[in-house]
Amino acid sequence: MMRDFSSDEGIMSFGGMKVTEIADRFGTPCYVTDEQRVRENYRNVYNAFSQYMDTEIHYACKANTNLAILSILRQEGSGIDAVSIGEVKTCLKAGIPKEKIMYTGVNVSDQELKEVVESGVMINLDSLSELERLARIKTGIPVSFRVTPGVGSGHGDKVITGNKGAKFGVPKERIVEAYLRAQDLGFIPTGIHAHIGSGGQSVEPFIDEASVLAEIINQLSDAGMDLEFVDIGGGIGVPYKPNEEEMDLQEMACEVTDVFQQETDVKKIILEPGRYIICDATILLTRCVDVKDAVTKKYIGVDAGFNTLIRPAMYDSFHYIQNGSRFGKAGVARYDIAGPICETGDYLGHDRVLPDTQEGDVMVVYNAGAYGFSMSSNYNSRPLCAEVLVNNGEAELIRERETVEEQWRHQIVPGRLQD
Ligand SMILES: *Cc1c(COP(=O)(O)O)cnc(C)c1O
């Protein structure tokens, strides 16, 4: 079931605080994360797998890279899946030990590869080209490869990554050759990795993925390479609708580890959940600033658009939305919830049955933690919004709202245009 919240005198309560209080204090739009929920989610996935195998969780930080959130995960003992040098540096800044950071890039430039090598984090290679180019920078270091397992899963076409012909990874038909070449070049093959996609709800693709990985691990073992870890990537889905089923983590852990334990000698499993860790730990607060009866439709106009949360506009993703100021009141009309961006595609939700909503009400967008703030932009010259952390009834700012002036910081007007 989707995570839902309780009411405090008719106002939605989140992390022990009324959402209206948070909105009044920090302004809107703002993303609000419940620290305890981040910790619970981390422990759920870690505990599910660690009962069967030596387990390391690498939080896929592209879901949200706020330093405070990374610090919570550092305290929990999490490692990191980083997909850019920017993420690597941000996680080092948050104090994550470099041994626990794995860099998995795609279409990586030599410049970036060099910086990643200098940072000292683990490198997971995406292609034979990247292998040859890495060898020119440094060899003798541990490496793993991302394999394209021919199994895909995800909440939409744009986020399926493991299918045959994908731009990611070394095709499974070429993977043994890649490891042999790595060995020839003086690297130490230590693991294998795959990531099938993001937001899938069923266990089956993970079992198929595990079978493909197990077969490769054995082929490599026959060729004299015994790997230390298998990394099955991320992609654990989260319910975005009230009655949607949760992914059965216990079943996933049991079935997937069973494949490796029955079929291989590999001892350690790594998982890279991004969405699962942060998605339902965060809500987006956005204020109703305008209400409109457009004859065929009613609109709730809010101050967050696709500059703040792009998932509905980009993926047609569904985010559950409630009126936090009138929480638990019966719905009386159907509304579209739309933002301030000058495009028709700028909406947060269509056809939602909600209580009579007035200007000033605080609307709450659920499940906003994963790929929410991290995909936000300055489109329409709107400043990036604030991020807030709540912990057992206390709220703290973890990212200041950007100012308009800050958007001019890197722009240069040539002298001849300044008269
Ligand atoms: C994005 C990504 C993940 C995380 O996916 P989620 O669906 O957020 O769990 C894990 N591994 C890699 C390599 C990724 O690119």
Average pLDDT over residues 281-306: 97
Distance 104 CA to ligand 1 centre (A): 10
Whether the predicted pLDDT of 402 surpasses 90:
yes
pLDDT at 191: 98
pLDDT at 154: 86
If you average pLDDT over every residue of the chain, what do you get?
Answer: 97
CB of 195 closer than 6 angstroms to any ligand 1 atom: yes
pLDDT at 200: 82
Tokens for 236, please give them.
């654990």
pLDDT at 116: 98
Confidence class for position 155, pLDDT limits 50, 70, 90: confident
* Contact residues for 336 (Cβ-Cβ < 8 A; gap 6+): 297, 298, 299, 300, 347, 349, 350, 351, 352
pLDDT at 54: 98
End-to-end CA distance of the chain: 62
Residue nearest to atom 1 of ligand 1 (CA): 60
* Contact residues for 364 (Cβ-Cβ < 8 A; gap 6+): 12, 14, 19, 283, 284, 285, 321, 322, 323, 324
pLDDT at 332: 95
342 is catalytic: yes
Confidence class for position 161, pLDDT limits 50, 70, 90: confident
Whether the predicted pLDDT of 374 surpasses 90:
yes
CB of 104 closer than 6 angstroms to any ligand 1 atom: yes
CB of 64 closer than 6 angstroms to any ligand 1 atom: no
pLDDT at 59: 98
Number of helices (H) and strands (E), helices first, in the chain?
Answer: 11, 21
pLDDT at 201: 85
Average pLDDT over residues 243-254: 95
| pLDDT, tens digit, 9 for 90 and up, residues 184-202 | 999 999 999 999 988 888 9
Confidence class for position 357, pLDDT limits 50, 70, 90: very high
Residue-level length of the chain: 419
Confidence class for position 156, pLDDT limits 50, 70, 90: confident
Mutation probe of ligand 1 site: the residue of 272, 275, 367, 371 with most atoms within 8 A of C-beta = 272
pLDDT at 153: 85
Share above pLDDT 70 across residues of the chain, in percent, rounded to a whole number: 100
Mutation probe of ligand 1 site: the residue of 58, 61, 62 with most atoms within 8 A of C-beta = 62
Average pLDDT over residues 116-145: 98
Confidence class for position 165, pLDDT limits 50, 70, 90: confident
Whether the predicted pLDDT of 324 surpasses 90:
yes
Average pLDDT over residues 116-124: 98
pLDDT at 162: 86
Q: Where are the alpha helices (DSSP H) in 171-307?
A: 175-184, 204-222, 249-263, 275-278
CB of 63 closer than 6 angstroms to any ligand 1 atom: yes
Whether the predicted pLDDT of 223 surpasses 90:
yes
pLDDT at 406: 97
Number of the ligand 1 atom closest to the C-alpha atom of 276: 9
Average pLDDT over residues 97-112: 97
Tokens for 401, please give them.
């709202």
Whether the predicted pLDDT of 207 surpasses 90:
yes
